Amino acid sequence: MKLAIISDIHGNLYALMKVLEDIEDQKVDLTVCLGDLVGYGPHPNEVVSMIKRKNIPCIKGNYDASVVDGSYTYIRETTINSFSLPWAVNEVRAANKYYLDNLPTSMTLDFNGKKIKLVHGSPNALNEYLLEDDENTSKVMELLEEDILICAHTHVPSVKQFGNKLFINDGSVGKPKIGTPESTYCILDVDKNGNSKASIRRVSYELKGLVKEMQILNFPNNLIRSFEEGME
């Protein structure tokens, strides 16, 4: 069985459309989303609508929660967020905020006998960063009851084995932090014997169109550059 995992779309419809096209080519059995549909990009309502229209199971991200709250509850108070958060709070429709507010904070799947835990940040918190070589990640994996942990939030994809447990971060569809503007997502393949293999895919999208829309909407230059450069 093949599972596609996407996350951190952040209002970037151009990136989401291209990634979904690529997923269709991979002939997966299920696509799931690990949250952060909104924030930063200019298409929050369109992204939510597409996830709903495609019936993609989704969990809540930290930026989703902060847009619902209208405060810095789960995000850092940075220069970029001082623009992005109030813009998204004002832009996201009430019905979409209701949808985001009612998303679960985790999901558990069973693929061919492999138990998979899906979270946005970590099993402990929506906004905890799990980087593959950090001490907190090792502790989380040690305590993990499932066979596989799949998370997001860092916008940095990675796959690492911790003993007999597999750690996956799918990266970011809409706002990667890998030094290039390419979207990333993960394909997890679990065969009938329970053997699992994870691969990170990179997808290019129409960046120029996104940038033009952001400029028309008077988005700050430092926010636009972060999309162009694939950086923080």
Kindly write down the DSSP assignment for every residue of 33-101, as one continuous string. Answer: E-S--SSSSS-HHHHHHHHHHTT--B---HHHHHHHHTSSSSS---HHHHHHHHHHHHHS-HHHHHHHH
In this prediction, residue 120 carries a pLDDT of 98
Evaluate the CA torsion angle 177, 133, 203, 32 in order and state its sign. negative
| Domains detected in the chain | 2-229 (3.60.21.10)
User: What is the value of pTM for the model shown?
Assistant: 0.97
Mean pLDDT of the chain: 97
User: For 120-130, how does the pLDDT look when each residue is reduced to its tens digit (9 = 90+)?
Assistant: 999 999 999 99
Q: In Å, how far are 69, 130, 188 from 1, measured between CA atoms?
A: 37, 26, 8
In this prediction, residue 109 carries a pLDDT of 97
User: For 35-80, how does the pLDDT look when each residue is reduced to its tens digit (9 = 90+)?
Assistant: 999 999 999 999 999 999 999 999 999 999 999 999 999 999 999 9
Which amino acid appears at position 39 of this protein? Answer: G
Gap between the Cα atoms of 41 and 54, Å rounded:
20
In this prediction, residue 79 carries a pLDDT of 96
Average pLDDT over residues 158-164: 97
Average pLDDT over residues 5-14: 98
Asked if 1 contacts 32 with a C-beta cutoff of 8 angstroms, the reply is no
